[in-house]
Amino acid sequence: MTMLSSVWKKLAGKQANAQAEKPAEPEFTAASLMAKVTQMPNTSKGVNKETVPDQYLPLWQLLTQRQLIEVKVEGSTLSYQTIVLAIDIQRGLLWLDDLFPSQHVLEVGDRITLRHHRNGEQLSFSAPILAWGSSYGATGFAIMLPEQLYYAPRRQLSRAQVNSNLRVKIRPIGQDISYGSVLDISSGGLRVSIPGNLLGQLRHGALVPLCELNLSDELNIGCAARVRSFRLLRSPHRNTQISLEFVDLPQERAQQLQQFINNLIYLQQTPTDFELRSA
């Protein structure tokens, strides 16, 4: 009930700590808010390049340029497209156009991931759906604004080879926990080796609710993941290699992971004292 109340306050535009001395104003309703969104084809009221916070400038550019954004639905391999209709910073909402091609399965509370590519960089974030415009006689839908937002090099996914002793724990949907070794890792995911034949437990694009590994005393990774590829190897021993993409890894943890990978790659590429003396 608390969560529903919080969502409704966002949609209704109420301020939880509003001052009683303020003059009475007509309350915003979800329907009127959605109607305002449909009346703003290029910009949100009160939002422009000078007033929008720095972390939302990428969204402002997508809005003004009406750029297509890729949408992935959690638990599905299907891909959709949308555009930004409006940025409601005051209420912490992002209004998007109806998905194309249209779909009729999503509900309020479902999570989607948005991606946009620009000159070799990628903008990516996930958020829950808060409202469908069709419920209020309008187009589009609302999701929560992310706290952090920026473009990152797509192949900043520099992969680092890791010690085979680094252990990982995963659990595919409906299956028992499996333990294996990390083969390589990037800020976007990792490749693991699990003893035995797991082909019957895996499918492309499937969600893996549990993916855990400890990289150091200060850096622990624990999040969901998505299966990107897998294969069975029989030499030197039978094992299943799985490529996993991290899902909803907190931005701060992703940045820590990238720093860890950068340091690891640097150490792997730096000649040792022995090599320098032998040169």
Q: What is the pLDDT along the chain (279 residues), one digit of tens a residue?
A: 444 445 445 444 544 444 444 434 333 344 444 444 444 333 444 456 667 788 888 899 999 999 999 988 876 667 889 999 988 888 888 989 998 887 777 888 888 888 888 877 788 888 888 887 776 677 889 898 887 777 776 654 567 888 768 899 999 988 999 999 999 888 888 999 999 999 998 888 888 999 999 988 888 999 999 888 889 998 888 999 999 988 888 878 888 888 888 888 877 776 554 444 444
185 sits in which H/E element: strand 178-186
Task: Give the pLDDT of residue 154.
Answer: 60
The domain tally of the chain equals 2
Q: What is the pLDDT of residue 68?
A: 92
User: Residue 153: its pLDDT value, please?
Assistant: 66
Measured CA to CA, the distance from residue 221 to residue 262 in angstroms comes to 16
- How many angstroms separate the CA atoms of 271 and 262, rounded? 16
pLDDT of residue 244: 92
For residues 143 and 233, state if they share a domain.
no
Radius of gyration of the chain (CA): 23
Q: Are 139 and 216 within one domain?
A: no
Asked whether residue 71 is domain-assigned, the answer is yes
Tokens representing 241?
Answer: 């290699």
The confidence score (pLDDT) of residue 17 equals 44
179 and 264: one domain? yes
User: Given 104, 136, 153, which residue is the final one in a domain?
Assistant: 153
Asked whether the CA dihedral 243, 248, 251, 252 is positive or negative, the reply is negative
In a domain, 176, yes or no: yes
172 and 126 co-located in one domain = no
pLDDT of residue 242: 93
| CATH number of 147's domain | 2.30.110.10
**Is residue 274 a part of any domain in this protein?**
no
Q: What is the pLDDT of residue 279?
A: 47
**Residue 210 maps to a domain:** yes
Within this chain, do residues 13 and 130 fall inside the same structural domain, yes or no?
yes
**Domain-ending residue, one of 132, 153, 174:** 153
CATH of residue 231: 2.40.10.220
Per the domain annotation, does 80 fall within a domain?
Answer: yes
Q: Which residue range(s) make up the domain with 83?
A: 2-153
Instruction: From 153, 177, 203, give the residue that closes a domain.
Output: 153
Q: Is residue 77 part of a domain?
A: yes
Within a domain: residue 276?
Answer: no
- Is the same domain home to 96 and 198? no
